[in-house]
Amino acid sequence: MKLLIGEQIIKTCELMHRMGYVLGGTGNISFCEGGHIYITPTKRDKATLNTRDIAALTMDGSIIWGEPSSEYHAHVGIYNLNPRAKAVIHAHPPITTAMSRVEQFPEMGPSDKAHFLEQPIFIGYYEPGSAVLAQAVGEASLISKIIIMKNHGIITWGTDLEEALLSIEAVEHFLQVYMYERLIKLGKW
């Protein structure tokens, strides 16, 4: 593994933890390069990882080293169906995760759309770590870079980790503004 990849994954983990998008051992981050997938370990606090903790997989999901996230199948599913994906992030930002429980996404205005490359796509609930979840997110990744999983959170992909994280940040910010707007309109402000 190139040290730079591990360092980028660790930096992204630290950012997500500070932003409140992952809590303890939740969420996972991967990067695909040279026919290998580098991914965060399972059930480990994202705020305390170091580069030695990063696991590696082959493109078919075989473990090369480490103890990969229990969600590694979803990452493999995206990479194998979508060759444009080079980075995948799964997180649980509070408002986005709450929205995943109601299966609807508010209408975006013109200025909101400037922050998105495309509309998020919702998929149904599938058992975390399952082959059917991997297939569903892989297929959804061909439609959008932003996938909201029912009762589960968000998974995004990008050409690099920054792009994947910015998608999560943009969704969470948009939903926060939407929530405040609704409260103001209800006179609850």
Which pLDDT does position 52 carry in this prediction? 93
What residues are labeled active site?
Answer: 71
| 8 Å CB contact between 88 and 78 | yes
Mean pLDDT of the chain: 91
Quickly state the pLDDT bin for 171 (edges 50, 70, 90).
very high
Which pLDDT does position 149 carry in this prediction? 96
Task: Give the tens place of pLDDT for each residue, 126-150.
Answer: 999 999 999 999 999 999 999 999 9
d(CA 39, CA 55): 5
Torsion from C-alpha of 141, 2, 57, 30, nearest 10 degrees: -30
Which pLDDT does position 1 carry in this prediction? 47
Domain 3-185, CATH: 3.40.225.10
Helices and strands counted in the chain (H then E): 6, 8
Look-up of token digits 């990882």: 49
Running DSSP on this structure, what letter comes out for residue 108? Answer: P
Task: Give the tens place of pLDDT for each residue, 92-115.
Answer: 999 999 999 986 778 777 777 666
pTM (2 decimals)?
A: 0.92
Residue boundaries of the structural domains of the chain:
3-185
d(CA 141, CA 123): 11
